[in-house]
């Protein structure tokens, strides 16, 4: 008997913040949440996409976000049903390494620094290990997204050999960065580090979350 994916979610941490978890194995069955996820990605990432080799086209991004292998883990505010944060995950391979690929990790501006990104990363590691039986998580991060890179490094993520690399110009010594890096970390490391981050006193973040 297959255990339902929802059974692998430990929602005590987010419940205490008036949030509920919704897991969608086919985002196309919930157009409302799909639109909210799309709007959040656009709000957070539009400028970076525009400056990168990828560019931004609403229809293309929506198509990519609608792909059915993606599993969405969404955090909604209990009362208002506002989308607060989400991650989308794919059971796949990167450079012949079986892995869970974290396609998106997005937190609304006003909910940042409340460990929701950490909780979603922890949950992705739990799902990778227990549901998808994968040992690694991979992701893509824009090289200009220094904040996200320092966030990911806390969970042991580092550049994979399949990633574009920075090039040092021989004469000037100037470093030319690619538009993006492919990062990876082991599920064991992510789980250990995210547990440490999540159990650190929430007071060290910016306090409790005000209602939506
Ligand atoms: C990156 C992001 C997901 C982090 O989520 P978050 O919920 O704000 O982060 P958390 O509160 O879980 O932070 C966990 C740790 O990372 C650190 N961290 C979080 N954001 C950081 C930032 N902008 N700069 C440096 N460190 C950061 C926190 O200080 C915390 O460390 P600590 O426990 O030692 O204090 C969130 O800022 C975001 O959605 N950004 C915009 C979208 C984006 O860039 N997504 C990544 C795409 S690849």
Q: Which of 4-8, 16-20, 79-83, 165-169 has the lowest mean pLDDT?
A: 165-169
Q: How many A from CA of 200 to the centre of ligand 1?
A: 15
In the predicted model, is pLDDT for residue 157 greater than 50? yes
Instruction: Judge if the beta carbon of residue 159 lies within 6 A of ligand 1.
Output: no
pTM of the predicted structure, to 2 decimals:
0.93
Domain 5-202 is found in CATH 1.10.10.10: no
For residue 200, the model assigns a pLDDT of 85
Expressed in angstroms and rounded, the spacing between residue 86 Cα and the centre of ligand 1 is 13
Q: Which ligand 1 atom sits closest to the C-alpha of 106?
A: 39
Per-residue pLDDT at 1: 67
pLDDT confidence of residue 212: 38
Domain positions in the chain are: 5-202
Is-contact 105 119, C-beta < 8 A? no
Atom of ligand 1 nearest to the CA of 197: 33
Q: What is the mean pLDDT of the chain?
A: 93
Q: Tell me: the pLDDT tens digits for 85-124?
A: 999 999 999 999 999 999 999 999 999 999 999 999 999 9
User: Which band of pLDDT confidence, cut at 50, 70 and 90, is reported for residue 207?
Assistant: very low
Describe the crossing of helices 187-199 and 116-126 by its angle, rounded to 10 degrees. Answer: 140
pLDDT over 70, % of the chain: 94
* C-beta 113 within 6 A of ligand 1: yes
Nearest CA to ligand 1 atom 44: 148
């Amino acid at each position: 008997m297959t255990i339902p994916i929802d059974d692998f979610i430990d929602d005590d941490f987010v419940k205490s913040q008036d949030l509920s978890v919704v897991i969608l194995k086919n985002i196309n069955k919930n157009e409302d949440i799909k639109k909210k996820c799309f709007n959040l990605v656009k709000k957070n990432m539009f400028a970076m996409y525009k400056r990168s080799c990828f560019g931004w086209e609403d229809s293309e991004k929506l198509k990519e976000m609608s792909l059915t292998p993606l599993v969405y883990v969404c955090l909604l505010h209990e009362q208002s049903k506002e989308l607060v944060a989400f991650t989308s995950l794919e059971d796949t391979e990167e450079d012949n390494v079986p892995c869970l690929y974290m396609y998106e990790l997005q937190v609304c501006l006003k909910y940042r620094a409340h460990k929701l990104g950490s909780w979603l990363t922890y949950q992705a590691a739990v799902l990778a290990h227990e549901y998808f039986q994968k040992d690694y998580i991979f992701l893509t991060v824009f090289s200009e997204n220094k904040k996200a890179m320092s966030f990911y490094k806390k969970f042991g993520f580092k550049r994979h050999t399949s990633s574009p690399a920075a090039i040092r110009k021989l004469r000037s010594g100037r470093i030319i960065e690619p538009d993006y890096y492919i990062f990876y970390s082991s599920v064991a490391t992510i789980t250990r580090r995210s547990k440490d981050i999540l159990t650190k006193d929430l007071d060290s973040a910016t306090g409790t979350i005000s209602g939506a």
